Amino acid sequence: MTQLHDPAWRGFASDNYAGAHPAVLAALSEANGGHQIAYGEDDYTAQLQVEMKRLFGDRAETFPVFNGTGANVTALTSLVPRWGAIIGTSTAHIHTDEGGAPERLTGLKLLTVATPDGKLTPELIDREAWGWGDEHRAQPLAVSITQTSELGTLYSVDEVKAIGDHVHSLGMKLHMDGARIANAAAALQVPVRDFTTDAGVDILSFGGTKNGMLYGEAIVAINPDAADGLIFLRKLTMQLASKMRFVSAQLLAMLDDDLWLTSAGHANSMAAHLRRSLEDAAPEGLGFSQKTQANAVFAMLDTAVSDRIRERVRFYDWDRAKGEVRWMAAFDTTEADVDAFVAVILEELSR
Protein backbone atom coordinates (compact mmCIF):
# COMPACT_ATOMS: atom_id res chain seq x y z
CA MET A 1 0.00 0.00 0.00
CA THR A 2 1.20 3.54 -0.75
CA GLN A 3 1.88 5.62 2.35
CA LEU A 4 -0.77 8.32 2.47
CA HIS A 5 0.58 10.56 5.21
CA ASP A 6 3.73 12.50 6.01
CA PRO A 7 5.41 10.61 8.90
CA ALA A 8 7.33 13.77 9.81
CA TRP A 9 4.12 15.71 10.59
CA ARG A 10 3.51 16.34 14.28
CA GLY A 11 0.58 17.73 16.21
CA PHE A 12 -0.05 18.61 19.85
CA ALA A 13 -3.78 17.94 19.92
CA SER A 14 -3.81 14.45 21.41
CA ASP A 15 -1.57 11.56 22.33
CA ASN A 16 -3.99 9.53 20.22
CA TYR A 17 -2.44 11.15 17.15
CA ALA A 18 0.76 9.17 17.61
CA GLY A 19 1.24 5.87 15.84
CA ALA A 20 2.06 2.55 17.45
CA HIS A 21 5.35 1.92 19.21
CA PRO A 22 7.69 -0.29 17.15
CA ALA A 23 7.81 -2.81 20.01
CA VAL A 24 4.03 -3.11 19.87
CA LEU A 25 4.06 -3.72 16.12
CA ALA A 26 6.78 -6.32 16.62
CA ALA A 27 4.69 -8.02 19.31
CA LEU A 28 1.72 -8.23 16.96
CA SER A 29 3.91 -9.91 14.36
CA GLU A 30 5.27 -12.36 16.93
CA ALA A 31 1.76 -13.22 18.10
CA ASN A 32 0.65 -13.87 14.54
CA GLY A 33 0.76 -17.18 12.71
CA GLY A 34 -0.71 -20.52 13.60
CA HIS A 35 -3.86 -20.98 15.62
CA GLN A 36 -4.68 -19.87 19.15
CA ILE A 37 -7.95 -20.47 20.96
CA ALA A 38 -10.29 -17.52 20.46
CA TYR A 39 -12.08 -15.27 22.94
CA GLY A 40 -9.28 -15.09 25.49
CA GLU A 41 -8.26 -18.70 25.95
CA ASP A 42 -4.93 -18.00 24.25
CA ASP A 43 -1.41 -18.08 25.68
CA TYR A 44 -0.95 -14.31 25.48
CA THR A 45 -4.05 -13.51 27.50
CA ALA A 46 -3.04 -16.13 30.06
CA GLN A 47 0.37 -14.50 30.42
CA LEU A 48 -1.24 -11.07 30.68
CA GLN A 49 -3.13 -12.29 33.75
CA VAL A 50 0.19 -13.20 35.35
CA GLU A 51 1.80 -9.85 34.55
CA MET A 52 -1.17 -7.82 35.78
CA LYS A 53 -1.20 -9.74 39.05
CA ARG A 54 2.43 -8.68 39.51
CA LEU A 55 1.35 -5.07 39.17
CA PHE A 56 -1.92 -5.09 41.07
CA GLY A 57 -1.86 -8.11 43.37
CA ASP A 58 -2.79 -11.77 43.30
CA ARG A 59 -6.54 -11.18 43.32
CA ALA A 60 -6.53 -8.99 40.21
CA GLU A 61 -8.53 -10.26 37.23
CA THR A 62 -7.85 -8.70 33.83
CA PHE A 63 -10.27 -8.34 30.93
CA PRO A 64 -8.78 -6.99 27.68
CA VAL A 65 -11.16 -4.78 25.68
CA PHE A 66 -11.12 -2.71 22.51
CA ASN A 67 -11.16 0.87 23.80
CA GLY A 68 -11.37 3.22 26.74
CA THR A 69 -15.07 4.01 26.52
CA GLY A 70 -15.85 0.31 26.45
CA ALA A 71 -13.57 -0.28 29.42
CA ASN A 72 -15.26 2.44 31.46
CA VAL A 73 -18.81 1.45 30.53
CA THR A 74 -18.24 -2.24 31.22
CA ALA A 75 -16.41 -1.64 34.48
CA LEU A 76 -18.99 0.80 35.83
CA THR A 77 -21.84 -1.52 34.86
CA SER A 78 -20.25 -4.30 36.89
CA LEU A 79 -20.06 -2.16 40.03
CA VAL A 80 -23.65 -1.13 40.66
CA PRO A 81 -27.24 -2.26 39.99
CA ARG A 82 -29.49 -0.48 37.51
CA TRP A 83 -30.77 1.92 40.15
CA GLY A 84 -27.26 2.98 41.06
CA ALA A 85 -25.44 6.23 40.41
CA ILE A 86 -21.79 7.09 39.88
CA ILE A 87 -20.24 10.22 41.37
CA GLY A 88 -17.58 11.90 39.22
CA THR A 89 -16.30 15.30 38.21
CA SER A 90 -18.08 17.54 35.72
CA THR A 91 -15.03 17.27 33.46
CA ALA A 92 -14.78 13.47 33.66
CA HIS A 93 -14.42 11.67 30.35
CA ILE A 94 -17.38 9.44 31.24
CA HIS A 95 -19.51 12.60 31.45
CA THR A 96 -18.21 14.83 28.67
CA ASP A 97 -16.56 12.69 26.00
CA GLU A 98 -18.21 9.31 25.75
CA GLY A 99 -21.38 10.29 23.92
CA GLY A 100 -23.54 9.53 26.92
CA ALA A 101 -22.52 5.87 26.69
CA PRO A 102 -22.21 5.25 30.46
CA GLU A 103 -25.81 6.37 30.96
CA ARG A 104 -27.35 5.27 27.66
CA LEU A 105 -25.89 1.78 27.62
CA THR A 106 -26.00 0.99 31.31
CA GLY A 107 -29.04 2.84 32.59
CA LEU A 108 -26.90 4.30 35.37
CA LYS A 109 -27.04 7.90 36.54
CA LEU A 110 -23.94 10.11 36.65
CA LEU A 111 -23.84 12.59 39.53
CA THR A 112 -21.25 15.21 38.67
CA VAL A 113 -19.38 17.71 40.82
CA ALA A 114 -17.62 20.83 39.56
CA THR A 115 -13.95 20.98 40.51
CA PRO A 116 -11.26 23.58 39.75
CA ASP A 117 -8.59 21.03 38.86
CA GLY A 118 -10.45 17.97 37.61
CA LYS A 119 -9.96 16.11 40.90
CA LEU A 120 -12.37 14.87 43.55
CA THR A 121 -11.89 15.05 47.32
CA PRO A 122 -13.92 13.41 50.10
CA GLU A 123 -15.58 16.76 50.71
CA LEU A 124 -16.56 17.15 47.05
CA ILE A 125 -17.85 13.58 46.94
CA ASP A 126 -20.13 14.37 49.87
CA ARG A 127 -21.96 16.94 47.77
CA GLU A 128 -23.63 14.05 45.95
CA ALA A 129 -23.13 11.18 48.41
CA TRP A 130 -26.54 11.30 50.06
CA GLY A 131 -30.11 10.07 49.70
CA TRP A 132 -29.58 6.37 50.33
CA GLY A 133 -32.92 4.65 50.72
CA ASP A 134 -34.78 7.50 49.01
CA GLU A 135 -36.79 5.82 46.26
CA HIS A 136 -36.96 9.11 44.34
CA ARG A 137 -33.19 9.41 43.89
CA ALA A 138 -30.69 7.31 41.98
CA GLN A 139 -28.58 5.68 44.65
CA PRO A 140 -24.95 6.87 44.88
CA LEU A 141 -23.10 3.55 45.01
CA ALA A 142 -19.75 4.22 43.35
CA VAL A 143 -17.23 6.98 42.69
CA SER A 144 -15.13 7.37 39.55
CA ILE A 145 -11.83 9.26 39.51
CA THR A 146 -9.47 9.79 36.58
CA GLN A 147 -5.71 9.34 36.91
CA THR A 148 -4.32 11.54 35.43
CA SER A 149 -7.34 13.82 35.32
CA GLU A 150 -8.85 15.32 32.19
CA LEU A 151 -7.17 18.59 33.18
CA GLY A 152 -3.75 16.95 33.28
CA THR A 153 -3.56 16.99 37.06
CA LEU A 154 -2.35 14.17 39.24
CA TYR A 155 -3.76 12.46 42.31
CA SER A 156 -1.09 11.74 44.91
CA VAL A 157 -1.02 8.38 46.66
CA ASP A 158 -2.43 9.96 49.81
CA GLU A 159 -5.22 11.69 47.88
CA VAL A 160 -6.39 8.43 46.30
CA LYS A 161 -6.19 6.65 49.66
CA ALA A 162 -8.24 9.37 51.34
CA ILE A 163 -10.90 8.96 48.66
CA GLY A 164 -10.78 5.17 48.86
CA ASP A 165 -11.17 5.18 52.62
CA HIS A 166 -14.03 7.68 52.45
CA VAL A 167 -15.85 5.90 49.63
CA HIS A 168 -15.67 2.54 51.38
CA SER A 169 -16.75 4.02 54.71
CA LEU A 170 -19.95 5.07 52.95
CA GLY A 171 -20.48 1.60 51.51
CA MET A 172 -19.60 2.67 47.97
CA LYS A 173 -17.06 1.35 45.47
CA LEU A 174 -14.17 3.11 43.72
CA HIS A 175 -13.47 3.08 39.98
CA MET A 176 -10.42 4.63 38.36
CA ASP A 177 -10.37 5.72 34.73
CA GLY A 178 -6.72 5.02 33.94
CA ALA A 179 -6.60 6.01 30.29
CA ARG A 180 -3.33 7.74 31.20
CA ILE A 181 -2.43 5.65 34.23
CA ALA A 182 1.07 5.14 32.84
CA ASN A 183 1.66 8.90 32.84
CA ALA A 184 0.56 9.00 36.47
CA ALA A 185 2.83 6.13 37.49
CA ALA A 186 5.78 7.70 35.68
CA ALA A 187 5.15 11.08 37.31
CA LEU A 188 4.62 9.72 40.83
CA GLN A 189 7.60 7.36 40.52
CA VAL A 190 6.01 4.78 42.80
CA PRO A 191 4.71 1.27 42.08
CA VAL A 192 1.30 1.52 40.42
CA ARG A 193 -0.30 -0.55 43.17
CA ASP A 194 0.55 2.23 45.66
CA PHE A 195 -2.15 4.48 44.20
CA THR A 196 -4.52 1.70 43.10
CA THR A 197 -4.62 -1.59 45.01
CA ASP A 198 -3.18 -0.29 48.27
CA ALA A 199 -5.20 2.93 48.06
CA GLY A 200 -8.59 1.24 47.81
CA VAL A 201 -9.36 1.25 44.08
CA ASP A 202 -11.77 -1.62 43.33
CA ILE A 203 -11.63 -1.61 39.55
CA LEU A 204 -9.82 0.37 36.88
CA SER A 205 -9.48 0.93 33.18
CA PHE A 206 -5.85 0.36 32.20
CA GLY A 207 -5.01 2.54 29.23
CA GLY A 208 -2.79 1.54 26.34
CA THR A 209 -3.86 3.32 23.16
CA LYS A 210 -2.68 6.76 24.29
CA ASN A 211 0.68 5.31 25.25
CA GLY A 212 1.76 3.55 22.08
CA MET A 213 -0.65 0.68 21.44
CA LEU A 214 -2.43 0.30 18.13
CA TYR A 215 -5.71 -0.30 19.92
CA GLY A 216 -6.89 -1.87 23.14
CA GLU A 217 -7.19 -1.31 26.88
CA ALA A 218 -7.88 -3.58 29.83
CA ILE A 219 -10.31 -3.68 32.71
CA VAL A 220 -8.53 -4.73 35.89
CA ALA A 221 -10.82 -5.90 38.67
CA ILE A 222 -8.44 -5.39 41.59
CA ASN A 223 -11.18 -6.42 43.99
CA PRO A 224 -13.21 -9.03 42.09
CA ASP A 225 -15.77 -9.12 44.89
CA ALA A 226 -16.79 -5.56 43.97
CA ALA A 227 -17.47 -6.34 40.31
CA ASP A 228 -20.31 -8.58 39.20
CA GLY A 229 -20.65 -10.32 35.85
CA LEU A 230 -17.69 -8.90 33.96
CA ILE A 231 -17.30 -12.05 31.92
CA PHE A 232 -20.84 -11.57 30.61
CA LEU A 233 -20.85 -7.77 30.47
CA ARG A 234 -17.78 -7.63 28.25
CA LYS A 235 -19.69 -9.55 25.56
CA LEU A 236 -22.90 -7.61 26.21
CA THR A 237 -21.10 -4.29 25.69
CA MET A 238 -19.46 -5.51 22.46
CA GLN A 239 -15.96 -5.48 23.98
CA LEU A 240 -15.11 -9.19 23.64
CA ALA A 241 -12.42 -9.65 20.99
CA SER A 242 -12.47 -12.98 19.21
CA LYS A 243 -8.75 -12.73 18.39
CA MET A 244 -7.93 -11.46 21.85
CA ARG A 245 -4.30 -12.55 21.60
CA PHE A 246 -3.61 -9.41 19.56
CA VAL A 247 -4.88 -7.09 22.31
CA SER A 248 -3.07 -9.05 25.03
CA ALA A 249 0.18 -9.21 23.04
CA GLN A 250 0.22 -5.42 22.80
CA LEU A 251 -0.32 -5.03 26.52
CA LEU A 252 2.44 -7.54 27.20
CA ALA A 253 4.79 -5.58 24.94
CA MET A 254 4.01 -2.41 26.92
CA LEU A 255 4.67 -4.14 30.23
CA ASP A 256 7.88 -5.79 29.01
CA ASP A 257 10.92 -4.05 30.48
CA ASP A 258 8.57 -1.27 31.72
CA LEU A 259 8.05 0.19 28.24
CA TRP A 260 4.72 1.61 29.43
CA LEU A 261 6.54 3.69 32.06
CA THR A 262 9.40 4.71 29.79
CA SER A 263 7.05 5.87 27.04
CA ALA A 264 4.77 7.75 29.42
CA GLY A 265 7.72 9.30 31.24
CA HIS A 266 9.06 10.60 27.95
CA ALA A 267 5.70 12.15 27.06
CA ASN A 268 5.60 13.78 30.50
CA SER A 269 9.09 15.21 30.05
CA MET A 270 8.18 16.65 26.65
CA ALA A 271 5.15 18.43 28.14
CA ALA A 272 7.38 19.78 30.92
CA HIS A 273 9.86 20.97 28.29
CA LEU A 274 7.08 22.76 26.42
CA ARG A 275 5.83 24.48 29.57
CA ARG A 276 9.32 25.40 30.75
CA SER A 277 10.35 26.80 27.36
CA LEU A 278 7.31 29.05 27.21
CA GLU A 279 7.69 30.18 30.81
CA ASP A 280 11.34 31.05 30.19
CA ALA A 281 10.37 33.08 27.13
CA ALA A 282 7.60 34.79 29.15
CA PRO A 283 5.70 36.20 26.16
CA GLU A 284 2.86 38.66 26.68
CA GLY A 285 -0.59 37.22 26.15
CA LEU A 286 0.16 33.71 27.36
CA GLY A 287 -0.80 32.14 30.68
CA PHE A 288 -1.40 28.70 32.12
CA SER A 289 -4.61 27.45 33.71
CA GLN A 290 -3.50 24.15 35.28
CA LYS A 291 -0.39 22.56 36.68
CA THR A 292 1.62 20.53 34.17
CA GLN A 293 2.05 17.26 36.05
CA ALA A 294 1.97 14.71 33.25
CA ASN A 295 1.79 15.03 29.46
CA ALA A 296 -0.76 17.85 29.14
CA VAL A 297 -0.25 21.62 29.08
CA PHE A 298 -3.31 23.82 29.57
CA ALA A 299 -2.71 27.37 28.37
CA MET A 300 -4.63 30.63 28.07
CA LEU A 301 -4.30 32.91 25.06
CA ASP A 302 -6.41 35.05 22.77
CA THR A 303 -8.57 32.95 20.47
CA ALA A 304 -7.39 34.84 17.40
CA VAL A 305 -3.82 33.92 18.28
CA SER A 306 -4.69 30.30 18.97
CA ASP A 307 -6.49 30.09 15.63
CA ARG A 308 -3.40 31.34 13.81
CA ILE A 309 -1.17 28.89 15.65
CA ARG A 310 -3.58 26.06 14.88
CA GLU A 311 -3.30 26.76 11.15
CA ARG A 312 0.33 25.67 11.48
CA VAL A 313 0.24 23.12 14.32
CA ARG A 314 -2.84 21.13 15.25
CA PHE A 315 -4.31 21.31 18.79
CA TYR A 316 -7.71 21.67 20.44
CA ASP A 317 -9.57 24.37 22.30
CA TRP A 318 -10.54 23.26 25.79
CA ASP A 319 -12.79 26.17 26.71
CA ARG A 320 -12.95 28.61 23.82
CA ALA A 321 -15.06 31.09 25.77
CA LYS A 322 -12.15 31.51 28.20
CA GLY A 323 -9.39 31.19 25.62
CA GLU A 324 -8.20 27.94 27.19
CA VAL A 325 -6.40 25.41 25.01
CA ARG A 326 -4.83 21.99 25.58
CA TRP A 327 -1.46 20.87 24.24
CA MET A 328 -0.58 17.18 24.52
CA ALA A 329 2.76 15.41 24.21
CA ALA A 330 3.02 11.78 23.12
CA PHE A 331 5.49 8.93 23.47
CA ASP A 332 7.08 9.87 20.14
CA THR A 333 7.22 13.66 20.66
CA THR A 334 10.80 14.92 20.39
CA GLU A 335 12.53 17.98 21.79
CA ALA A 336 12.84 19.22 18.22
CA ASP A 337 9.05 18.91 17.83
CA VAL A 338 8.55 20.92 21.01
CA ASP A 339 11.11 23.57 20.06
CA ALA A 340 9.50 24.04 16.65
CA PHE A 341 6.08 24.38 18.27
CA VAL A 342 7.39 26.90 20.79
CA ALA A 343 8.84 28.94 17.93
CA VAL A 344 5.43 29.03 16.21
CA ILE A 345 3.66 30.04 19.41
CA LEU A 346 6.11 32.85 20.15
CA GLU A 347 5.98 34.09 16.56
CA GLU A 348 2.20 34.31 16.52
CA LEU A 349 2.06 35.91 19.96
CA SER A 350 4.43 38.61 18.79
CA ARG A 351 2.29 39.56 15.78
The CATH number of the domain holding residue 242 is 3.40.640.10
Q: Residue 193 to residues 58, 189, 210, 222: CA-CA distances in angstroms?
A: 12, 11, 20, 10
Mark out the alpha helices in the chain (DSSP H runs).
22-31, 43-56, 68-79, 93-96, 101-104, 122-125, 157-169, 181-188, 230-236, 245-255, 259-281, 303-310, 335-350
Strands laid side by side in the 287-288 sheet = 287-288, 296-300, 324-328, 316-319
Residues 109 and 174 in one domain: yes
Residues 216 and 279 in one domain: no
In a domain, 10, yes or no: no
Residues 178 and 209 in one domain: yes
Q: Model confidence over 90-123: pLDDT tens digits?
A: 999 999 998 899 888 888 999 999 999 999 999 9
Give pLDDT, residue 168.
98
Give the number of domains in the chain. Answer: 2
Residues 98 and 242 in one domain: yes
Give pLDDT, residue 216.
97
In a domain, 305, yes or no: yes
Give pLDDT, residue 59.
98
Give pLDDT, residue 63.
98
Give pLDDT, residue 107.
86
In a domain, 146, yes or no: yes
pLDDT mean by block of 10 residues, the chain; 351 residues: 92 96 98 97 98 98 97 97 96 93 89 97 98 97 98 98 98 98 98 98 98 98 97 96 98 98 98 98 96 98 97 97 98 98 97 87
In a domain, 221, yes or no: yes
In a domain, 187, yes or no: yes
Q: Model confidence over 50-74: pLDDT tens digits?
A: 999 999 999 999 999 999 999 999 9
Structural domain including 70 reads: 23-257
Give pLDDT, residue 105.
86
Residues 51 and 101 in one domain: yes
Residues 97 and 107 in one domain: yes
In a domain, 225, yes or no: yes
Single out the residue in 241, 257, 273 at which a domain terminates: 257
Give pLDDT, residue 1.
87
The pTM (predicted TM-score) of the whole model is: 0.96
Name the helix (H) or strand (E) containing 325: strand 324-328
In a domain, 1, yes or no: no
Single out the residue in 233, 257, 281 at which a domain terminates: 257
